[in-house]
Structures are given as C-alpha cells and as structure tokens.
Amino acid sequence: MTVGITRAQDGTLYFLYATGTADLTGVWRMRPGGTPQRIAALPADGLPNGLALDPRTGTLYVTDSVLGTIWSVPAAGGTPTAWSTAPELAATGFLGANGLKIHNGAVWATNLDTGTILRIPVLADGRAGAVQTRATGLAGIDDFAFTGHGNQILAALNGPSEVALVQPDGTHSIVLTPADGLQNPTSIALRGDTVYVMSAAYVTAKDPNLLLAHLNR
C-alpha cells in the first residue's frame, strides 16, 4: 500500500510503499512528468508510515510503526539510517510511531498505541536528541498538522473518529467528532484557514471521505 507522501518545492513527490516484500518496500520518488523510482529500500517486515522532508538538509524522515523506528534517508537516495529507535516510538500492542512532521528544528512524531505526541530535536551534527513527550491521552492518534500558531496541533484520532486541538502545553480539546462525518480519520492538512481531514473508514467500513472545516484563528 502507498502511505506517507510529501512534496518538495520543485514539485517532486516522495512517497512510501509498503508491500511486505524486499523488492518494493521503501521510499519512492516521482519527479514532475517522470515515473516512480525507489530511492531507498526499507525493511520488508516493518511498516513505513509517516514521511516528512527537511528542505534545509535534504533529508527525508520516515516513521516505522511496526519496528518503532524513525529512519533518515537522503532525498537524493541512498541507504537509510535508523535515526531514532527510542523506546517512546515502540508499539505496545498494535502500532507505534505513526504521524511525522518537521517543525522548528525538530522531528515531531506520534505513537498510536501510547496516544502521545513526541518531539525529537535534530542536533547540530544531524543526530537525534533526547525524546520529549509533548502531549498524552490522545487515544488512537494518527497523523497531525501544525496550525501555524506556534506548537498548536490538530491531530487525527483514528479509533474514536475525532480530531483534537492540542495546545502547546499538551492539553487538548475535541473539535470534530463522528457527528461531523468522521470515519476513522488518518491524516490532516491545512491550507490557509481550511482544514482537510481524510477519513479511511478502516473500522466503520461505511464512508471513507474528505471533510473540510474552517480553522478559527
């Protein structure tokens, strides 16, 4: 299946492909007008999930939800490095490290099983710093997006079919629910004040959809 996707400023798309086979699982690149090309192989027994590009360093970061790892891969392609295998990324029964974003000099990731948002500083030499747990109690958290207001976050909660607004101090409130049409939301994107929430309907199997909402700043 195709999972994480990110777009570079020149229009190049990077995406993850997880097939459970060594010949296809990994990071793929597709330049405008081109064809898909695998630029880095990832372990076939893992589940690459979240993907983000740090344009300052030309580094791609990948969460692996099964192996509890954040990989780093040069955007030009090459051998992946296990950038962080911190215990906070590990699964505790189902899936661990999941959503992923680059924000203010750090890699931010979620852990679905533990319901947490984690911040890992990128050190001056590119290595991972100590993990900071920035929010807890977010059952079934999947992907997320920064609102543009500091470290404020909108997070998709897959299991309960909700979206949480997470404040910089880690507190949160529920701002969208199944009553709004959510069906196991997996990812969130913002463009201006418009919020896009993608529902996969993994569990409900009723109504995979794209929900649009307005962010009141």
128 plus 41 within the same structural domain: yes
Same domain assignment for residues 103 and 119: yes
pLDDT of residue 2: 84
**pLDDT tens per residue across span 178-207:** 999 999 999 999 999 999 999 999 888 888
- Which three-class secondary structure string do you get for the chain? CEEEEEECCCCCEEEEECCCCCCCCEEEEECCCCCCEEEEECCCCCCEEEEEEECCCCEEEEEECCCCEEEEEECCCCCCEEEECCHHHCCCCCCCEEEEEEECCEEEEEECCCCEEEEEEECCCCCECCCEEEECCCCCEEEEEECCCCCCEEEEECCCCEEEEECCCCCEEEEECHHHCCCCEEEEEEECCEEEEEECCCCCCCCCEEEEEECCC
Instruction: Report residue 216's pLDDT band, with 50, 70 and 90 as the boundaries.
Output: confident
Last residue of a domain, one of 94, 116, 136: 136
In this predicted structure, what is the pLDDT of residue 213? 96
Total of domains in the chain? 2
Q: Domain containing 120: what range?
A: 1-136
167 and 91: one domain? no
Residue 8 has pLDDT above 90, yes or no: yes
Percentage of the chain beyond pLDDT 70 is 100
User: Is 74 found in the same domain as 23?
Assistant: yes
pLDDT tens digits, one per residue of 20-71: 999 999 999 999 999 999 999 999 999 999 999 999 999 999 999 999 999 9
